[in-house]
Homo-oligomer: A and B are copies of this chain.
């Protein structure tokens, strides 16, 4: 060891600041703050070098949690600590009980985040420490945001992605079916109406593979798979309930948020949300960590590319596909990635009820061609991937399960297990009663239908919260329309929301007609 190393090591030892503690009586504050906040007497806290905004530990018995400090001299007298409902519940304490306030050390993860900001790569231990400190609330959101920004700008090495995937996996609950093969799928998103999951799951389960599918709710789209499935059945189940259902029906379609598969991911998403920051390494770790948590060995990734979705070009889609496969290999997962056309919506309906109708129609042997074709294609790939069909026979096999009604039967079994009405037909469900038809002003060919604009109009009309709100597309890309032909219908559950959606149309171009002159210059 050189002398400098020795000195540096000695210097590090210095960082054992004495932990400061004091004891206070609990005074409940009847507010849910959405995070752990404690209120200390301002003067008393100052005595202990604790100020508003600090993160401090509170301890009682062997329970402890990290909370953000507020201060008050009026409301909280010396010797007392104000606890919000969130903390009262979490700590299971009562008014007047004594609780210990412990001032914290600087968390180690701060040093690792600084390292990443300095363009160095982190090892498994370092990534895990950051995840642990986020999970235990030792790390503030500001510091976690710096990590996300560093991940976005500097990128992650493959080893960092694997470390984060494993730390994500370890942070949550696991679904262990004890059966094989377990398959799963994931779509990168951005395509309106793209409800393939609700067709794929019954096909795969009917073919005999296990598919415990967790889906998300909508964030900026008109509907997530969880929102759409909720039209037909419950989607909120815990891990044990999902396990029971999948052991019976081989498939389930539930909301991922009902289980704690990747709690660290929920915290990171909250940080990534305002800036829509999706560092590729974090995206992969989030997706694959959850797939690993449900025990999936064979995973199909749908990467839609095109105008207006996250991945604009096929080349970029290929790059992402290769990244998924590389990380999958390191994790011992069998991954296939499909690059799909994502420029236009899939299916005719946009919004929970309208998308549900599309799905049921496809399973009933009718329905929109594009949704039917894409769902069968993906199901076929999955069946080949997990060895249920020889290569080249997947599509035919999947199609057959729709044609012979077995997929529909399986879907009804799944609906029943999830507490819905198993006799439901596409014609039984109705979208919102307030409607408005948008017609073509000119004759021509439809050149582009915009995912984002359509989602926006559907959301303004009320979806996904009003499940019957949304849009039904009467014409698709390439169709020839005459002046006055219906292009799409807006559905809403209240007149006010319909009016609002109609107003929002102004200045929007959700459907573009083909034009010859694209611009001019002088």
Contact = CB atoms under 8 A, between A and B. Distances in A.
A52 B31 contact: no
Interface string A21-49: 00000000111111100010010000000
B31 A39 contact: yes
B7 A70 contact: no
Interface of A: 1-7, 10-11, 13-14, 17-18, 29-35, 39, 42, 51-53, 70-76, 82, 85, 110, 113-114, 117, 119, 140-143, 145-146, 148-150, 152-154, 270-271, 274-277, 450, 452-453, 456, 460, 500, 504, 507-509, 512, 515, 518-519
A122 to B, nearest CB: 15
Contacts of A13: 507-508
A255 to B, nearest CB: 17
Contact of A515 (B3, B70, B153): B3
Contact of A519 (B2, B146, B274, B508): B2
20 contacts: A1-B519, A3-B519, A6-B519, A11-B450, A11-B452, A13-B507, A29-B75, A32-B70, A33-B70, A34-B70, A35-B53, A72-B85, A114-B277, A117-B149, A117-B277, A142-B145, A142-B271, A142-B274, A146-B149, A149-B150
Count the copies.
Answer: 2
Given A34-B53, A145-B145, 16 more contacts: A3-B515, A3-B518, A10-B507, A13-B508, A30-B72, A32-B42, A34-B51, A114-B277, A117-B149, A140-B274, A141-B141, A143-B274, A143-B275, A146-B275, A149-B150, A149-B153
Nearest to A9: B507
Contact of A153 (B5, B42, B82, B117): B117
Contact of A146 (B10, B148, B456): B148
Contacts of A277: 114, 117, 146
A7 B452 CA distance: 12
Nearest to A147: B149
A32 to B, nearest CB: 5
B110 A274 contact: yes
A498 B509 CA distance: 74
B70 A74 contact: no
Given A18-B500, A519-B3, A74 B453 contact: no
Contacts of A271: 142
